């Protein structure tokens, strides 16, 4: 299975959430593996909900439309000629 840009973005988002959740959970729980596992679940839930939402501007069907429109509005860089 080849990862698309959308899949990569979802995985990066989940990883960021995991790191932000895992470090404090590990410290507060004193290294409790069960708490760490629940932190992993908490980190995955947010990006998973966004991935399922078809109208989400980052991951859903709307993401392709937004990306296309932004590409159209991006000003072309002109080369300097002397």
pLDDT (tens digit per residue) in 12-69: 887 887 888 778 888 888 888 888 888 778 777 877 787 777 777 776 666 666 667 7
Contact 34, 27 (CB under 8 A): no
Q: What angle, 0 to 180 degrees and rounded to 10, lies between the N-to-C axes of helices 5-29 and 33-52?
A: 150
Backbone angles phi, psi at 67, to 5 degrees: -60, -40
Q: What is the pTM of this model?
A: 0.51
Which residues does 53 contact at the CB level (< 8 Å), separation at least 6? 59, 60
Q: What is the pLDDT of residue 12?
A: 85
pLDDT value at 6 more than 80 = no
């Amino acid at each position: 299975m080849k990862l698309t840009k959308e899949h990569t973005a979802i995985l990066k988002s989940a990883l960021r959430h995991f790191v932000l959740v895992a470090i404090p959970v590990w410290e507060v729980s004193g290294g409790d593996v069960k708490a760490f596992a629940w932190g992993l679940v908490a980190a995955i839930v947010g990006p998973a909900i966004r991935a399922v939402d078809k109208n989400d501007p980052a991951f859903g069907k709307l993401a392709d439309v937004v990306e296309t429109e932004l590409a159209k509005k991006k000003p072309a860089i002109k080369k300097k000629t002397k």
